[in-house]
């Protein structure tokens, strides 16, 4: 009985045996047991088993020899080792964190000793950086993936390479039965970003222009509010353009161009466009009464038309926007009635043709700067079947399109120079 007690004591000492280097006698069953049986930290059923078997005897010298047979996982010696290692690691980590905190404290102390001037200086620098950031943000509201667009009103680019999807601004104020017309924004090089917005639906005959409307801001236009309504008799066709607070339009039943002062709604000048065909002789494809199409770009006022001498091919003339005198003329090889519309950008004429009920294509250009002409393939989506007019705004670098009564906007993308 007392032997058993001794052996039990020996067993209770096993813990320190496992962790110290003191040599002890261990039963072979303990030393040889499989390590996999304790590899599972969370299994606890074996752990609770008590000592299952032991034998004890006194040898000839009176020493107690005791052997204990332990079930496989009675004492979790490896777990204890792991615990010990974990404890050491944690302790090291703790030391490191503590050192970090000490270092930080040192840094804070150093910062605190910095003189006030330095702090003020840093504050000023931060303010300057913030302002720069603001500038960047306002100048880069466009998609940052694209190259920066050329400055508004400038021609430092290699021409139009693409257009955005259309933004549907609204239905014209007279409703969808007013399928012909034009709209846009006044442009003047002196006040490039200040122009008023104009909407000019033709009468439902698709020919005469009598009513037009002006808005000071795009918000007013969007809300149909604070509109100034005017009446003239009569313009003809949707080839209307506005430049420097003057509206230019082919005058009814003539080859004349009229300049209407928008400040007074008075026809200031009526000037004949020499040899111009008119009254549906060479209008655009699918659009009547637009033999004489006025256009505005960075360089001023242009007119796109055809003559008998040109056999219906497009003729481009630069006009004096005050007197409407022809300043210069270019002849193209593009037959006007086979294009659906046209506009000018930086002295380059761009012409569209119809691909389908939902798409147009900018397919042709003529560069008055070089006299070169050629093909393009830029698809323009549309919401209705026919584009009655396209007006370019040099400051916004947008197209203002009248599409069967709907007012659309497109952004232009340019080839970097």
User: Within 10 A of 338 (CB to CB), how many other CB atoms are there?
Assistant: 14
Name the β-bridge partners of 393: 398
Task: Give the separation between CA 264 and CA 269, rounded to whole angstroms.
Answer: 13
With contacts defined by CB under 6 A, name the span among 93-101, 169-177, 268-276, 337-345 that binds ligand NAG. Answer: 93-101
Restricting to residues 304-323, which ones interact with ligand NAG according to CB under 6 A? 320, 322-323
75 or 180, CB closer to ligand NAG? 75
269 or 306, CB closer to ligand NAG? 269
Which distant-in-sequence residues (6+ apart) come within 8 Å of 4 by Cβ? 54, 56
Interface residue with ligand NAG, options 6, 15, 16, 40 (CB under 6 A) = 40
48 class by beta-carbon count within 10 Å (0-12 exposed, 13-18 middle, 19+ buried): exposed
Residues 214, 231 contacting (CB under 8 angstroms):
no
Opening angle at CA 227, ends 225 and 233, nearest 5: 150
Binding status of residue 415 toward ligand NAG by CB under 6 A: no
Q: 168 vs 41, 153, 165, 383, 407, CA distance in Å?
A: 67, 24, 9, 8, 6
Among 393, 412, 414, 397, smallest CA distance to 147 is for 414
Minimum distance of ligand NAG from residue 165's CB (angstroms): 5
Q: Which helix (H) or strand (E) holds 214?
A: strand 208-215
203 or 381, CB closer to ligand NAG? 381
Opening angle at CA 338, ends 271 and 393, nearest 5: 55
Site mask for ligand NAG (CB under 6 A), range 60-79, x = bound? ---------x----------
171 or 355, CB closer to ligand NAG? 355
Binding status of residue 132 toward ligand NAG by CB under 6 A: no
290 or 403, CB closer to ligand NAG? 403
Binding status of residue 233 toward ligand NAG by CB under 6 A: no
Binding status of residue 100 toward ligand NAG by CB under 6 A: yes
- Determine the residue with CB nearest ligand NAG: 53
99 or 372, CB closer to ligand NAG? 99
Binding status of residue 99 toward ligand NAG by CB under 6 A: yes
Binding status of residue 272 toward ligand NAG by CB under 6 A: no
Q: At 364, is the secondary structure helix, strand, or coil?
A: strand
Binding interface with ligand NAG (CB under 6 A): 40, 42-43, 52-53, 69, 96, 99-100, 103, 162, 164-165, 320, 322-323
């Amino acid at each position: 009985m007392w032997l058993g007690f001794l052996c039990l004591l020996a067993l209770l000492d096993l813990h320190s045996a496992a962790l110290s280097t003191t040599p002890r006698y261990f039963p072979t069953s303990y030393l040889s047991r499989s390590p996999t049986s304790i590899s599972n930290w969370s299994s606890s059923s074996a752990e609770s088993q008590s000592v299952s078997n032991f034998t004890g005897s006194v040898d000839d010298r009176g020493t107690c020899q005791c052997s204990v047979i332990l079930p496989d996982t009675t004492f979790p010696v490896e777990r204890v080792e792991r615990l010990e290692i974990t404890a050491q690691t944690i302790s090291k980590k703790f030391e490191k964190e503590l050192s970090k905190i000490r270092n930080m404290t040192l840094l804070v102390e150093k910062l605190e000793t910095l003189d006030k001037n330095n702090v003020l200086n840093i504050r000023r620098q931060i303010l300057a950086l913030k302002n720069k950031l603001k500038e960047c943000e306002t100048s880069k509201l466009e998609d940052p993936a694209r190259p920066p667009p050329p400055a508004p009103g400038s021609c430092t680019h290699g021409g139009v390479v693409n257009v955005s999807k259309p933004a549907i601004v609204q239905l014209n104020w007279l409703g969808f039965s007013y399928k012909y017309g034009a709209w846009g924004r006044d442009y003047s090089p002196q006040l490039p970003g200040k122009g008023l917005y104009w909407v000019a639906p033709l009468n439902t005959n698709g020919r005469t222009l009598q009513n037009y409307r002006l808005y000071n801001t795009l918000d007013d236009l969007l809300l149909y509010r604070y509109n100034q309504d005017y009446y003239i008799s009569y313009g003809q066709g949707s080839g209307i353009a506005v430049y420097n607070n003057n509206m230019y339009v082919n005058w009814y039943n003539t080859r004349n161009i009229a300049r209407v002062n928008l400040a007074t709604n008075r026809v200031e000048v009526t000037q004949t466009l020499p040899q111009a065909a008119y009254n549906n002789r060479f209008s655009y494809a699918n659009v009547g009464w637009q033999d004489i199409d006025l256009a505005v770009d960075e360089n001023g006022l242009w007119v796109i038309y055809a003559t008998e001498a040109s056999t219906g091919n497009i003729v481009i003339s630069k006009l004096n926007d005050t007197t409407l005198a022809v300043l210069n003329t270019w002849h193209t090889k593009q037959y006007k009635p086979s294009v659906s519309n046209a506009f000018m950008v930086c002295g380059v004429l761009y012409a569209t043709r119809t691909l389908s009920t939902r798409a147009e294509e900018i397919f042709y250009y003529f560069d008055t700067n070089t006299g070169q002409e050629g093909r393009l393939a830029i698809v323009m989506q549309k919401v209705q079947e026919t584009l009655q007019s396209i007006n370019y705004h040099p400051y916004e670098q947008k197209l203002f399109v009248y599409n069967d009564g709907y007012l659309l906007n497109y952004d232009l993308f340019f080839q970097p120079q």
